Structure formats: C-alpha cells, structure tokens
Amino acid sequence: MTRQPSYYVYYLIIPITLLSLLSSLVFALPMEYGDKVALSMTILLSFGVFLTQMTNDMPKTSQQTSYLTIYLTSLLTLSSLSVAMMILILRFHNYRGKVPRVLHKWVVLWKWKCSKRELATDVDQDPAGDVNTQKCTADPTWKDVSTALEAMCLRIFTSRMGQEHDPTAQQQF
C-alpha cells in the first residue's frame, strides 16, 4: 500500500466499507420488501469478487497474509451469516401456528426491553406504562418473533461491522 495508496483507498477500501454498511442495513428493510435475500446474496457475491481481485493483485507468497485480505475474509463470513439469518427470519415471518415456549419468553423479554427504552425516551408516555405492558403480555406471533430477531440482528451486525473498522472498540453487549 505504500506504493499506490490511492488505488487501494478508491478501488478497495471505500467500496468494501460501503458494502459492509449495506450488509448490516439489510435487516433495516421492511419485511414486505421481497428482495432482502437477493440483496444479501448480491453483497455476499460482491465481497467474493473483491476477495478475488485482491488475491490477483497481491504477491503470491505464503509467508504473510495481508491485513486487508483477512479483513475482507471476515466480512465475507459475516455476510454469509447475514444471508443465513435473513432466510431464517423470512421463514419465521411466514410460519403459522403456536410459537414455542422458549421463543415466546424471548420475544416477551425483547418487547419489554424495547418498551422500557420507549418509556425512557418518551416524556408524554403514561408513567404507569399500561400500553407497553399490554404489548409485552400479549401472546407473540411468528411475525413478532421475526421482527424481534431482525431487530436483534440489525443491532448485532451493525455493531460488529463497526468493530471490524475500529480494532480498539469495546464490545457493546
């Protein structure tokens, strides 16, 4: 990178950074958007193309691996996990029937944590929290499970992608 830093910055680092941001923001798209998996797969394939390009541009030595290659491989792995989670979330969104007890407790806990955040930020909210308590105690559906899982993935993947860029970042969870 000391010979041609602008090449690496403009043709590798900036596009890879933007793709990593897109990879985590796939979870922010609404469920009704039908191409979430296609977008995830496109990002995954883009990481593969960049990894191939880097492999061709780097010298063929087995003594040391480039940090950029390691970083890109870790992003490729996270993007693969993102595709798998998106498929699981979409399957949960379309399930019918009763939610298992374990998932039921997890969704109720997630809704409770979200309602506590809303109470802390909303000044005009009823202090008793009757509306939020009703939301938390209602039986969750599979759509609630998929929504909670998607929100959790958005939070985790966004923080993980940010930590990939900053090696000194502390773990948020």
pLDDT at 133: 47
pLDDT at 152: 86
Q: Are residues 130 and 154 in the same domain?
A: no
Q: Are residues 85 and 116 in the same domain?
A: no
Q: Cα 34 from chain centroid?
A: 17
pLDDT at 36: 87
Q: Are residues 8 and 89 in the same domain?
A: yes
The structural domain count of the chain equals 2
Q: Are residues 82 and 105 in the same domain?
A: no
Q: Are residues 23 and 65 in the same domain?
A: yes
| Cβ-based neighbours of 30, under 8 Å, separated by 6 or more | none
pLDDT at 115: 65
pLDDT at 45: 93
pLDDT at 44: 92
Q: Are residues 8 and 50 in the same domain?
A: yes
Which pLDDT tens digits describe the chain residue by residue (173 residues)? Answer: 456 778 778 888 888 889 888 888 888 888 877 788 899 999 999 999 988 888 787 777 767 777 888 888 888 999 999 999 999 988 888 888 888 888 888 888 877 776 665 544 444 444 454 444 445 556 788 888 888 888 888 888 888 655 544 444 443 33
Q: Are residues 113 and 67 in the same domain?
A: no
The burial of 114, by beta-carbon neighbours within 10 Å (0-12 exposed, 13-18 middle, 19 or more buried), is given as middle
Orientation of helix 14-25 relative to helix 142-165, angle to 10°: 160
User: pTM for this one?
Assistant: 0.71
Question: CATH number, domain at 37?
Answer: 1.20.58.390
pLDDT at 80: 92
- Domain housing 11: 1-96+142-173
Gap between the Cα atoms of 97 and 91, Å rounded: 13
Q: Are residues 84 and 52 in the same domain?
A: yes
Q: Are residues 47 and 126 in the same domain?
A: no
CA angle 90, 92, 97 (to 5 degrees): 140
pLDDT at 116: 61
Q: Are residues 43 and 107 in the same domain?
A: no
Gap between the Cα atoms of 57 and 54, Å rounded: 5
Q: Are residues 85 and 121 in the same domain?
A: no
Q: Are residues 79 and 159 in the same domain?
A: yes
